[in-house]
Structure 1
Amino acid sequence: MTPRKSSQQELTKEIILQEADKQFTEQGFSQVSMRKVAKELGCSHGALYYHYTNKAELFYEVVSSYFMKLDSMVDDVRAQDDYPQEGIFNLFRCFLQFGLDHQSQYELMFMVKNTEVDTLTKAAANRSYDKFAQVLFECAPARASISDVYAAFVSLHGFVAHYIGRVKHFSEVEGAAQKHILFLQKPFQAL
């Protein structure tokens, strides 16, 4: 057993987040507890409460970092030379690639159903979805409707959900993903 930390100053939020991230991605939300995180860090679970009110708040911090990574990838799509002409294709590809290359994180972001965390994670999810929708509206030569944007998002989510656990990486289904993307682009193309 590892010795306990001698002071709370040694236990930083960054260290806690790294361990919580590891446990959430390996075990899922319901299997992780503040006590388990503390045990791995070699401190009392009370020391964690100095930084986080409860497991839901800790989970929110971890999941928010995943949304920031996805948002950063969307920002990279905007920064590409072929934006906005190829923006829709690149956005859809980016979403599928993120989901299948980061399957555990994706599941925590979009597939955990727990009332304790739903209200906390909803804000990060909504910001990310708004960024997704904004890029679609910027790139669509035809007038895109809100329902078209939502349908595209749900369809992309369904593709990722279908392949989670069946493949290890996006590259294994890249051909199928490309066909799916080309099909989903149709409502956003000029008439």
Structure 2
Amino acid sequence: MAVNSKNVFVGAPDQATTGAILTGPETDTIPQTIDDFSFTGLNDSGYVNEDGVTITPSDSTSSIKDWAGAEIRRILTEFTGEISWTHLELSAEAARNYFGEEQVQVTAATELHGTQMRGSLGKNYLPNKAWYFKVKDGDRRVVVFVPHGQVVSRGDIPLVQSGPITLPVTLATYPDAHGQNIYLYTDDGIFSAPAPEGP
């Protein structure tokens, strides 16, 4: 097969009208193609910092050795998949991803104050949700879909004059009803020529 530059995708966020990371209820309904996604009603967590999003798969194997001690086979014993990024906003949805749904309270703006938010850290359960990561590179599109994911690690919150307050998180992914943790969908943006009309 010949090389094709159209297969080279840049991981820029698709955030024309929303942020590129969305969340919703867990699901075992798995879209067949990238066009089968509906993002209506999902929660938008806003901007992510310039480091973007990193997907980290990890396979654990167990070695089988023969009588002489030579390795003759490896068995896959465990798979884990993590996704990490840093929220660049102190929005309600970014805060809910970091602090937890029940640990964030928002008070609407009034004539006396702006929109106010309170988040609390403690030994709190962070819920499982479905996660959607949207990427757009010109006409090329990518969606990374996690049907069951949970924030399991939270990084430092920097409070410095020289930079923004950020909320770094790491997401653990869990298998769905089909045994899969993470799905990646693409569209290379190249449309086929229309079929010629008949006589």
TM-score, normalized by length of structure 2?
0.20
Larger Rg: 2
Higher helix share goes to which structure? Answer: 1
TM-score, normalized by length of structure 1?
0.20
Higher strand share goes to which structure? Answer: 2
